[in-house]
Amino acid sequence: MSHNSHACVIVDDNEIDRLTVLAHARQYPLLNMVGVFASATEALPVLQSQPVDVLLLDVDMPGLSGLELRASLMQVPVCVFITAYPDYAAESFAVDAFDYVVKPIRAERFSHTMTRVQAFFDLTRKAQLFDLSLGADTVFIKDGHQQIKLNLHDIVYLEGLKDYTRIVTATQRYTVLSSIGNLLQNKPFQSFLRIHRSYAVQRHYIDRIDAQQIHAQQFTLPVGRSYRAALNGISPS
């Protein structure tokens, strides 16, 4: 199994639909088929006993529905519902559906889903290189088995990328799995000033403040319109 293939399970009570989904899925080396089930009830014990990355689920099944199955397996990162009924879409997103495909499956529609799944795993793989723990004035970043110790003082700015944050020093950058909003709520990051929805800069590195930009060390960072007022009273160091 290659480093880039992800354990996948198909659950659909209709045999022809099940084989169709399997035929599509088999064309993508990204997916490593570890189980094909005719009912959610049958799939559940298997799914609880081994880690699975991708679920391809029918919704309307006797016994346990696809939505109920997903609700008890929220730890699986990617869940794609494949169903004949468009009207379950809203409910599917309540259980964190990654995508919602209406049968009959078309090859180009399935391909679009797979491209998004691939992009999702590429991003999480990059982000999971680094695990973060905070000390009073230190950030420990775990890179594989190696611990990198960063002085909070050395971080010039943070850049938010949806669920991830890039931590940037004068010479290094690390991506961690935490939103910028969450990071900034931690006490160690109180010396950072939010200057934009996606950026926060360490106050003592601010060299110059322009109308739309902040200069900090060798970096030029954007200032968001709604954050501009907060910068008025700040004099560059």
Mean pLDDT computed over 146-165: 87
- What local confidence, expressed as pLDDT, does residue 67 receive? 96
Please give the domain boundaries of the chain with CATH numbers for all domains.
Answer: 6-127 (3.40.50.2300), 130-231 (2.40.50.1020)
- What local confidence, expressed as pLDDT, does residue 233 receive? 67
CA 181/CA 112 separation, integer angstroms? 31
Asked if residue 142 lies in contact with residue 129, where contact means CB atoms within 8 angstroms, the answer is no
pLDDT in tens, 17-49: 999 999 999 999 999 999 999 999 999 999 988
More confident residue, 134 or 159: 159
